[in-house]
Structure 1
Amino acid sequence: MLRKIVIENLGVFRHLSMELAPRLNILCGTNGTGKSFLLDSVWFALTHRWPIEPVTSIKKARIECIGSDSSGDHVDYSASFDRSEQEWTWSPDKFDNTGLVFYARADGSLCVADSVQGNSLALSLHEIWNGREKSGKFVCEGLVSDVLKWQNRRSEELAMFEKILEVLSPSNFKIRLSLPTRISLDDVRDIPTVALPYGNVPVLHTSSGIRRILTLAYCLTWVYSEHCRACNVAGMSYDSRMTFLMDDVEANLHPDWQGSILESIFAAISALRGSLENVQLFVATKSPMVTDWAKVHFDFPLDGMLELREDEKNT
């Protein structure tokens, strides 16, 4: 868990210092003020890897953090960029701070890091839906294949996925799985469908808002189930620490849906893990509906909000 982050001469920031809330951190502001880059920086602080390499200043780029290790003790650590070597140097060089880190990016891609598996993974939106193969082995089978497999097996993952879909649904209807179907003579796959108020729709043909929620529900289910499997294989207990990052949390959603999405994400993570204990969330938004919900439901000092403004991004 992160307690504080300081960014020097990196990306759009000449200097930014941010005290972090232990539960929910909302980053708000207009386009181009650095919300996405701040999420990238949090990911980097936790995993020591950038999702996309940032632009470094002529001056020395540096990130300083205060975090909590696996025992809950506070630890100071930092990273500096060596321009001549074109690499980041960490002090201390090893720090057990991650647990499970989940980052849903604005372009629909996913970055995930798992301290049990000891690696991080980045999947494009296409790979999330259709899978990724590496060296003859599947890293991820994808939403279409996995959901169909879960339905056929009536697995625990299916129950988890359906529960998360239910709590992420809009207030006026519930998104529920229905029977798989074929959608083309040229595609021999059975495709999962969802039951919507106007009928059953193949997941590949759903609206952008429904697809966003299907993607989020699948990624949460898949990431957590893979974490549990890795723990079982390694003979380890489940890591209770989780950091959830999501950019453009309101993207493709109706304003009414935007107003309830944070509450739904809370419920989804609670359904996944049983509680929000040891979970820290970072979400970026430019939606007044999201921030209005937060102003009513915030629980200080557990939650916090940072508004980035254009005239402050380099100060």
Structure 2
Amino acid sequence: MIRELHLKRVGPAPEFNVEFADRLNLFTGDNGLGKTFLLDIAWWALTNTWAGDPAWPQRGNGVPSEISYHLEGKTGLTKEPTISRFDFAHQVWPRSKARPVMPGLVIYVRVDGSFSVWDPARNYWKAMQVKGVDQPDRPSAYHFKPENIWNGLEEERKVLCNGLIRDWVSWQNQPEQDDSSPFNLLSKVIEKLSPHPSEWMRPGKPTRVSIEDVRDIPTVELPYGSIPVTQASAGMKRILGLAYLLVWTWYEHSQASILLNQPPTDTIILLMDEVESHLHPQWQRTILPAMLNVATGLNEKIKTQVIASTHSPLALASIEPFFDENKDKLFLFTLDGTSVKLDEILWAKQGDVVGWLTSEVFELKQARSKEAEIAIEAAEAFMRFDTQNLPGNLKTKDQIHHELLRLLAGHDPFWPRWIVEGMEETK
């Protein structure tokens, strides 16, 4: 797991300091303030690789750009932070030459539909020679574009992953199925990620979908019928891709651990950028709670650390019954003048989506359209006889009332407060 991350002159702020919680770490804030950037840095700290472009350092003043972090692995928490200072001469962030900490399996779910996986059994770098036997480097990590999830991943003529379509059907056709078989694990994970008991998903029978494609295509059974996974919606594909990657990562890690004669890891770190991406509100309301326990479907003893970004007030509301201040944290990016700040904020239940929208996290005055917000603020000012700064088109009672009729529903809770009969328009 990752415990601490400290940045100096890297990214949008002079300095970022984060102490991560054991289980759930939620990052929110406006666009462009650094949420994805922080996830990229966390991935690099955990894996010593970049999932995309390296973080770019700030320049000038002769002050070094620095990334330092604390990891916890099988041997416990590192005594000293690992520090990397950007090497401008070689344009790289130097990696530590010491034996790296094994933080666990790391899965990065990116907003564009791509995934990255780092496995301590398959991606851990080794010396080129072990006890006199030449041993080639292993892949630094597995990076999946959306098409690789479905059709497989190859590198230098080596098949690194068969892809969802082939693996799903292959797992389903295995003659012996027990609780630890990959197909049963996949079924469990898909069930946990389903949005609601009445909107369940489960694997169906493979089918052919085209005379030009000889593959059998997996299907999912839904309350209204069965569909090939290739015909699923964008949101459903994101969920199915996540379910597959979780199972594939754990299954292949378990197989590699057997070959290496070592026990599998007991930790999974999930990095998720914009957890609500492509998801209907039903799924936005279940995705974070599911992420907290989905790994237990793979192994009951496994520990999960989730580091996620979100813009969704519904996702935040969904976590209220499960948030534990001893194991979870909420962080907020804000723009203070011309400076970006990242702060841990005290957890407070807001009750519903409206509460979250009008909280310090989103800072909306009204959980409405901007036009309705302006009209209600004008109405409230009018009722206070504060008419000096009313908008030009909302100067009179009739103008305000007409605008409220245009914008508000008949059952809107503001109507009982709009009491102006007998009031003077000026005082």
Distance in 1, Cα, partners of 2:97 & 2:328: 29
* 1:256 shift after superposition: 2.5
Aligned equivalent of 2:245, options 208, 213, 219: 219
Distance in 1, Cα, partners of 2:232 & 2:121: 35
Q: Equivalent residue for 2:115?
A: 110
Q: Does 1:79 align with 2:100?
A: no
Distance 1:266 1:314, change over 3 A: closer
* 1:72 shift after superposition: 1.6
- Report the AA paired with residue 17 of structure 2: S
What percent of counterpart residues are identical? 35
Q: Equivalent residue for 1:55?
A: 56
Moved over 6 A (4+): none
Q: Does 1:287 align with 2:312?
A: yes
Q: Equivalent residue for 1:194?
A: 220
Q: Equivalent residue for 2:41?
A: 41
Q: Does 1:127 align with 2:148?
A: yes
3-state SS in 2 of match to 1:162: helix
Q: Does 1:235 align with 2:239?
A: no
Q: Equivalent residue for 1:5?
A: 5
Distance in 1, Cα, partners of 2:320 & 2:34: 22
CA deviation vs aligned residue, 1:240-276 (integer Å, no higher than 9, x gap): 1221111111111111221121111123111112145
1:130-149 map, 5 Å:
130-149=151-170
- Tell me if structure 2 keeps the 8 A contact 1:244–1:280: yes
Distance 1:183 1:69, change over 3 A: closer
CA deviation vs aligned residue, 1:29-75 (integer Å, no higher than 9, x gap): 12212111111110011111111222221142211112224222343
* 1:283 shift after superposition: 0.9
Distance 1:5 1:78, change over 3 A: same
Q: Equivalent residue for 1:158?
A: 183
Distance 1:69 1:147, change over 3 A: closer
- Tell me if structure 2 keeps the 8 A contact 1:133–1:139: yes
Distance in 1, Cα, partners of 2:190 & 2:341: 40
3-state SS in 1 of match to 2:93: strand
CA deviation vs aligned residue, 1:162-209 (integer Å, no higher than 9, x gap): 000001001131111111111112111111111112211110001111
Identify the range of structure 1 (52-61 vs 265-274) with the bigger mean alpha-carbon deviation.
Answer: 52-61
Distance in 2, Cα, partners of 1:150 & 1:31: 41
Aligned equivalent of 2:234, options 208, 214, 227: 208
Distance in 1, Cα, partners of 2:333 & 2:59: 23
3-state SS in 2 of match to 1:236: coil
Distance in 1, Cα, partners of 2:113 & 2:11: 22
- Tell me if structure 1 keeps the 8 A contact 2:267–2:302: no
Distance in 2, Cα, partners of 1:141 & 1:149: 10
CA deviation vs aligned residue, 1:204-239 (integer Å, no higher than 9, x gap): 001111111100000000000010000000111111
Identify the range of structure 1 (160-169 vs 93-102) with the bigger mean alpha-carbon deviation.
Answer: 93-102
TM-score w.r.t. the length of structure 1 is: 0.94
Q: Which has the higher strand share?
A: 1
CA deviation vs aligned residue, 1:143-170 (integer Å, no higher than 9, x gap): 0111011111155100000000001001
Distance in 2, Cα, partners of 1:252 & 1:27: 18
Distance 1:136 1:90, change over 3 A: closer
TM-score w.r.t. the length of structure 2 is: 0.70
Distance in 1, Cα, partners of 2:73 & 2:182: 30
Q: Equivalent residue for 1:304?
A: 329
Bigger-Rg structure (1/2): 2
- Report the AA paired with residue 239 of structure 1: T
Q: How many residues are treated as equivalent by the alignment?
A: 314
